[in-house]
């Protein structure tokens, strides 16, 4: 499947049952909400997907279920986060066999590889698959930064096509643009820099709170693309307190609690994660409830956007 690295791509949570098995029914409910809202791809098995707790069989089931459900409407992208090069190559092979359209690839996990080791690792993965690749650059959470010099080397691999830019340095988008133009697509991976990143030239947004609020996230992106900045900003200002729930060690619990509030998810997480409790739970619920009470009607923005397109 050919596709473009652009638009809103949710980093989906993994749904679990009371028996700690995959809840595929709720997974499909959330997938349906994302597709209806107009996302341009879905990312499985990332941090929000509790990747480190999933077995290979569970990842296989998630990919196959998503591919079957979306019926080619959007690409299904699987995260590759492995400790060894051998393990990563094997995971990539499984992803292709299970029907994935693309890969989101992290540098080696646990071991803090140097620049040469990191580039070698990523190039080895790219050379062992035809699937398009988005490098996940998140030095704050994972300890390894993929620098401009490293990307210069990596782009000798034609299937390394995009970066999920999560350095938290908004000016890095301009650096990437200046260095590589359109050769390297840039998708922001930080919810609280979502609108800012798109305005600075990011092609897309690999989002977290989109899991609970798909229509609002897609509306922000689409309005910016149409030049309706003030309307996008109105939605974004409402959204920001919710987006800040993504910048937390408990982001999975936070976002799953928001999914419950919007009716497209459950609160169940896999141990060692546990549902929020006590004062922190009340704090997060207050943010979510306040957001729901003041939730904007994005349908009017989309209606106006469609009207402006017809009259343009």
Which are the contacts of 95, defined by CB distance < 8 A and separation ≥ 6?
Answer: 63, 78, 80, 103, 129, 131
∠ CA 196-199-200, nearest 5°, is 85
Q: Characterise 161 by phi-psi region: left (phi > 0), alpha (psi -120 to 50), beta (else).
A: alpha
pLDDT higher than threshold 90 for residue 307: no
Percent of the chain whose pLDDT exceeds 90: 94
1 — pLDDT class (breaks 50, 70, 90): confident
Task: Give the tokens for residue 233.
Answer: 């900003």
pLDDT higher than threshold 50 for residue 308: no
305 — pLDDT class (breaks 50, 70, 90): low
Global pTM value: 0.94
310 — pLDDT class (breaks 50, 70, 90): very low
User: CB of 217 within 8 A of CB of 242?
Assistant: no
Please tell me the distance from the alpha carbon of residue 19 to that of residue 124, in angstroms, as a whole number.
38
Domains of the chain (ranges; CATH) run 7-311 (3.20.20.70)
DSSP strands (E only) in the chain: 7-10, 42-44, 76-80, 102-105, 133-137, 160-165, 185-188, 204-207
pLDDT tens, residue by residue, 198-209: 999 999 999 999
Please tell me the distance from the alpha carbon of residue 100 to that of residue 85, in angstroms, as a whole number.
20
Q: Which of 165, 289, 291, 266 is nearest to 211 (CA)?
A: 266
pLDDT tens, residue by residue, 174-220: 999 999 999 999 999 999 999 999 999 999 999 999 999 999 999 99
């Amino acid at each position: 499947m050919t596709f473009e690295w652009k638009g809103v791509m949710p980093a989906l949570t993994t749904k679990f049952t009371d028996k700690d098995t995959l809840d595929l029914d709720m997974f499909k409910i959330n997938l349906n909400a994302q597709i209806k809202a107009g996302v341009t791809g879905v990312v499985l098995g990332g941090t929000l997907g509790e990747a480190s707790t999933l077995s290979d069989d569970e990842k296989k089931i998630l990919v196959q279920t998503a591919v079957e459900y979306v019926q080619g409407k959007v690409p299904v992208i699987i995260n590759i986060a492995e400790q060894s090069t051998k393990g990563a190559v094997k995971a990539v092979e499984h992803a292709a066999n299970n029907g994935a359209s693309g890969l989101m690839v992290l540098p080696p996990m646990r071991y803090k590889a140097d620049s040469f080791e990191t580039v070698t690792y990523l190039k080895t993965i790219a050379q062992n698959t035809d699937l398009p690749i988005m490098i996940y650059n998140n030095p704050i959470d994972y300890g390894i930064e993929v620098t401009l010099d490293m990307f210069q080397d990596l782009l000798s691999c034609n299937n390394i096509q995009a970066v999920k830019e999560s350095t938290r340095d908004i000016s890095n988008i301009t650096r990437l643009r200046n260095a590589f133009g359109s050769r390297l697509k840039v998708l922001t991976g930080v919810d609280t820099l979502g609108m800012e990143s798109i305005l600075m030239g990011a092609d897309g947004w690999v989002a977290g709170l989109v899991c609970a609020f798909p229509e609002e996230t897609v509306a922000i992106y689409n309005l910016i693309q149409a030049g309706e900045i003030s309307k996008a900003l109105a939605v974004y200002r409402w959204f920001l307190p919710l987006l800040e729930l993504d910048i937390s060690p408990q982001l999975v619990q936070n976002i799953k609690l928001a999914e419950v509030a919007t009716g497209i998810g459950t609160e169940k997480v896999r141990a060692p994660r546990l549902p929020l409790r006590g004062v922190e739970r009340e704090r997060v619920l207050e943010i979510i409830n306040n957001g729901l009470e003041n939730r904007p009607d994005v349908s009017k923005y989309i209606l106006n956007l469609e009207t402006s397109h017809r009259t343009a």
